[in-house]
Structure 1
Amino acid sequence: MSQDSQHTPGPRSTDLRTSAEPAAGAAPHGAPHTGPVPPPEPAAEPEAVRRPAGNAESSRANRGWWDRNADEYQREHGDFLGDDRFVWCPEGLDEAEAGLLGEVAGRDVLEIGAGAAQCSRWLAARGARPVALDLSHRQLQHALRIGGGVPLVEADAGALPFRDGSFDLACSAYGALPFVADQVGVMREVHRVLRPGGRWVFSVTHPIRWAFPDEPGPEGLSVAASYFDRTPYVEQDEDGEPVYVEHHRTLGDRVRDVVAGGFRLVDLVEPEWPEWNSQEWGGWSPLRGHLIPGTVVFVCERA
């Protein structure tokens, strides 16, 4: 499960090997050390604002954010996600039990916003032929670290580098969609690469959460903003450049996006918080999860 974003230069497959970089504070090649190197100035905390942000800004910001934060994300959540488990959300809804994709054996499956490709590994173990796509180079390096032989593609979900009708199924567990300005564009791309009758299942933050503070404790239970305010959430640096962008859609907006993309909505799943799950994940927690939904999963079929 990965919250991923799109990059503007266009889709590309990639060799994920990286060259060695000098350690922080090291002198340039051939330059003598003349004394102690002072530590770098700490980066200023980004400012959180609500303001418009288009595709290009969102893509640049989110690709950079995930490349910088992939290591921490995998350290913090890797045990919960596992190496080859298909988890739809912080609530812990597992595809092995939910069966939202239907039969996967023998199917060509595209995972969008795959992160370290945990879901794709689960699919491969059950006889599917998955392809794991993500924008973040660093997230895909974690997929290589874990291994498993799943094909990896670094590409933009808004410009999928596949022929029409290449896949039977497509899925995304918190990948790509929360971070893309042009939601319908992504839907149409997924529709294009699916075969007739193909299923498209994706999970995102439940839209009602946008009215509440993103806090796991009691302070996250009081409405603090308008549910109907679609202005993107942006974290920007001291020069006003966005370093993280997330886009809000109401529940009705998302249903209309699905239909505009050429899909039929088969089911809408709002996972309840299970008793076994005691973890906090950002604003997700047992306290909030027992009172308000945190995730919504859309189960769609290509019309």
Structure 2
Amino acid sequence: MTDSAVTRRPVTQAESRRASRGWWDAGADEYQAEHGEFLGVADFVWCPEGVREADAGLLGPVAGARVLEVGCGAAPCARWLRSQGADVVAVDLSAGMLRHAARLNAVSGIHPPLVQADAGDLPFADRAFDVACTAFGAVPFVADSGRVMREVHRVLRPGGRWVFSVTHPMRWIFLDDPGEGGLVAVHSYFDRRPYVEQDEDGRPTYVEQHRTLGDRIRELVAAGFVLQDLVEPEWPDGHEKEWGQWSPLRGRLFPGTAIFVARKPD
């Protein structure tokens, strides 16, 4: 990946999409080398705090369900879902991440279908799925995340569940520092300009979007969902692994992840 300067500024949907595809394609090997062991080959880990779907059951019963994973990365969640009897399809924008997903499908012998697609323009029919989910995929990287909510709503059947995890919005107040430097509030919670890394010509190379908790809830409601739960995982005792700005120091003081559990009405 190229060197970049960091700023906070508005970006277009096209800039955000181009940056995300380029960044994840270029960084797929590095990301998998750093985080692959924690995420597993066929496991569903919701967040750096280590919450697993096998324990949390946020998706409800999945055996026999038609499930869509949005922003699947290397698809460990999709493989776990398939191992539990789900009929699952995994979608990601990045060919680099899907290359790792295909490799790990072969390694594991678990083969959920893999589709390269934009989360804001899902290539599926209306009411095609019973459940949709993503663990830190797609939602934080899309300029028009309200459109993602509408697309997921469209492809879910009535009564379908949509569960997604993102960085807890309050983390945007602080620097991305797992140490004491990350305990001091320096940004406004209400500054919704995205975090942008850009090259020497000013082109975005990495974009991550900020929305408040209220923003996310309004996006869901506007798309037609009913919010059923908002999970803020606590840092578990004995968990000493750092992941970027996630650390035991910060995790024991304030939440690092928000998991939204929503339902499409019958």
What TM-score do the two structures reach when normalised by structure 1? Answer: 0.85
For residue 189 of structure 1, the aligned residue among 151, 171, 175 is 151
Contact 1:84–1:122 (8 Å) recurs in 2: yes
Equivalence map 1:204-223=2 (5 Å): 204-223=166-185
The alpha-carbon deviation at position 131 of structure 1 amounts to 0.3
Q: Distance in 2 between matches of 1:54 and 1:273?
A: 35
Contact 1:46–1:236 (8 Å) recurs in 2: yes
Q: Distance in 2 between matches of 1:275 and 1:74?
A: 26
Q: Distance in 2 between matches of 1:149 and 1:129?
A: 11
The alpha-carbon deviation at position 276 of structure 1 amounts to 2.7
Q: Distance in 2 between matches of 1:60 and 1:224?
A: 29
| 2:60 aligned with 1:102 | yes
Listed one character per residue, the Cα deviations across residues 49-99 of structure 1 (whole Å, up to 9, x for unaligned) are 011111100000111000000101111011100100000000000000000
| 2:261 aligned with 1:299 | yes
Listed one character per residue, the Cα deviations across residues 126-158 of structure 1 (whole Å, up to 9, x for unaligned) are 110010100010101101111121100000000
For residue 130 of structure 1, the aligned residue among 69, 88, 92 is 88
Equivalence map 1:167-246=2 (5 Å): 167-246=129-208
Match of 2:224 in 1: 262
Q: Distance in 1 between matches of 2:238 and 2:94?
A: 32
Contact 1:173–1:203 (8 Å) recurs in 2: yes
Match of 2:10 in 1: 52
Structure 2, unpaired ranges of 5+: none
Listed one character per residue, the Cα deviations across residues 205-253 of structure 1 (whole Å, up to 9, x for unaligned) are 0000000001000100000110110011111100000001111001111
Q: Distance in 2 between matches of 1:44 and 1:97?
A: 40
What is the percent sequence identity of the aligned residues? 65
For residue 251 of structure 1, the aligned residue among 202, 209, 213 is 213
| 2:32 aligned with 1:70 | no
The alpha-carbon deviation at position 170 of structure 1 amounts to 0.2
Contact 1:205–1:295 (8 Å) recurs in 2: yes
Q: Distance in 1 between matches of 2:238 and 2:115?
A: 35
Q: Distance in 1 between matches of 2:41 and 2:190?
A: 38
| 2:76 aligned with 1:113 | no
Match of 1:88 in 2: 46
Secondary structure of the 2:242 match is coil
The alpha-carbon deviation at position 44 of structure 1 amounts to 5.8
Contact 1:44–1:238 (8 Å) recurs in 2: no
One-letter amino acid of the structure 1 residue matched with residue 23 of structure 2: W
Contact 1:123–1:130 (8 Å) recurs in 2: yes
Q: Distance in 2 between matches of 1:177 and 1:143?
A: 19
Secondary structure of the 2:72 match is coil
Match of 1:3 in 2: none
The alignment yields a C-alpha RMSD, in angstroms, of 0.8
Listed one character per residue, the Cα deviations across residues 154-204 of structure 1 (whole Å, up to 9, x for unaligned) are 000000000001000000100000011111111000000000000000000
The alpha-carbon deviation at position 45 of structure 1 amounts to 2.2
Structure 1, unpaired ranges of 5+: 1-42
The number of aligned residues is 261
Match of 2:247 in 1: 285
Q: Distance in 2 between matches of 1:232 and 1:124?
A: 35
Match of 1:166 in 2: 128
Runs of 4+ in 1 over 2 A off after TM superposition: none
What TM-score do the two structures reach when normalised by structure 2? Answer: 0.97
